[in-house]
Structure 1
């Protein structure tokens, strides 16, 4: 059902699409969200066009450390991609609906699959900082859902089934790519908090008891919106620190970015191996 809110959002989206189209007629097939410290992958794209978020009407700016705030369109590993070089977070003051606006934009530009990446803390004691994790499922502990509010029932389901939030076929592609590249790929459940404060010791124990293997401050809203739009989704994480409640030290934001940079080449190699088969 059309409402003033959905009409306003549709106009905002149309203006953003028109701005990108004036820059390029390039039509992507895959969307990438590049998380903390992972932005350099965008530098490997054979660029057709690159726009600052500030130059796209309705696109909120990214203020998080390590996030360049650019939309990059071009070819990577033989695929036509559009990449967010830096994402948006709740802790920047944006509601969930604004956090996922770029997902809507990339979908309107032509992308029908989404690869989300992030840097996160490991909860599973078998994990080690610097390892990669395949997201099997998620727990939304942020208290927000981007699908709350008016829905265009003529185009999208009101009640989105998320039993298979991450595409089963894409999970197999990632496993095969990691095996071929001889990359250790952990698997687990990702839990999202709103941030910007890191979790307390008690919260970390609770998250582990809930079944989470890693914790971060992003991703789940993007996945929910992508599934709402009918996109197929793959989620990959870098374990930048161990979020262990009994540890004597918790990583700082700078240390997280440093570890993400150290493991970046392995992460980028995995993404390059995955993309041709999505």
Structure 2
């Protein structure tokens, strides 16, 4: 709400998330196309202050489609540039592998990681990645009329997707490994937002 009051019109939300989709690997960036709020709280509850927006804001397009297209375009360019660089180094044709996917993010309250049964349920709901942030901020920003982008860094596979237990250290290591690519993407996207 402070950002909105100061006149901010665009908000980029980032997070670390666990992959529910078996096709998403650690280090993948997921552009959030929609979210599921299972945090058991809505930031708009309570007495409404009309200065921050209407009481019942539309949430059918929380994440701005035009901004999503900008992110997709820039990620594709980065992937093509990386393939060309590798081809120049090796002399061998390189396939263009995008590090960006689109998906549905589910916000849960945490702080514990999810159980395998919860992850099976979330897959049935259409969830691609799960985390403990982003949803309240996106809801509040949309209430104030901000355009929102959400990008998740897939730092681990969610419980039950693999046999391995989840360790917070793994989340931190993967986040650090992807930080350069993530930062470069944001540097390219931010100047194009209007």
Aligned partners of 1:138, 1:272: CA distance in 2, in Å? 24
Matching of residue 270 in structure 1 with residue 162 in structure 2: no
Judging changes above 3 Å, is the alpha-carbon distance between structure 1 residues 235 and 207 closer, same or farther for their aligned structure 2 residues? same
Judging changes above 3 Å, is the alpha-carbon distance between structure 1 residues 223 and 148 closer, same or farther for their aligned structure 2 residues? same
Please state how far the C-alpha of 1:155 moved relative to its aligned partner.
5.4
Aligned partners of 1:246, 1:227: CA distance in 2, in Å? 32
**Among candidates 17, 27, 34, match of residue 137 of structure 1:** 34
Aligned partners of 2:134, 2:51: CA distance in 1, in Å? 27
The answer for the alignment partner of 1:170 in structure 2 is 67
Aligned partners of 1:266, 1:164: CA distance in 2, in Å? 27
Matching of residue 184 in structure 1 with residue 99 in structure 2: yes
**What is the RMSD computed on CA atoms of the aligned residues?**
1.2
The answer for the alignment partner of 2:3 in structure 1 is 106
Higher relative contact order (CA 8 A, sep 6+): 2
SS of the counterpart of 1:263? helix
The answer for the alignment partner of 2:50 in structure 1 is 153
Any unmatched runs of 5+ in structure 2? 80-97
Cα deviation, 1:140-186, whole Å, max 9, x if unaligned, reads 01110000011123652110110001001101111111111114211
What is the TM-score normalised by the length of structure 1? 0.61
Aligned partners of 1:128, 1:154: CA distance in 2, in Å? 42
The answer for the alignment partner of 1:257 in structure 2 is 172
The answer for the alignment partner of 2:87 in structure 1 is none
Aligned partners of 1:193, 1:186: CA distance in 2, in Å? 21
What is the TM-score normalised by the length of structure 2? 0.87
SS of the counterpart of 2:27? coil
The runs of at least 4 consecutive aligned structure 1 residues that moved more than 6 Å come to: none
Aligned partners of 2:6, 2:38: CA distance in 1, in Å? 30
SS of the counterpart of 2:166? coil
Please state how far the C-alpha of 1:232 moved relative to its aligned partner.
0.4
The answer for the alignment partner of 1:47 in structure 2 is none
SS of the counterpart of 2:2? helix
Please state how far the C-alpha of 1:107 moved relative to its aligned partner.
2.0
Alpha carbons 1:123, 1:242 under 8 Å: kept: yes
Q: How does 1:68-87 map to 2 (within 5 A)?
A: none
**Among candidates 197, 217, 229, match of residue 132 of structure 2:** 217
Alpha carbons 1:125, 1:244 under 8 Å: kept: no
SS of the counterpart of 2:174? helix
Judging changes above 3 Å, is the alpha-carbon distance between structure 1 residues 246 and 276 closer, same or farther for their aligned structure 2 residues? closer
Matched pairs, number? 175
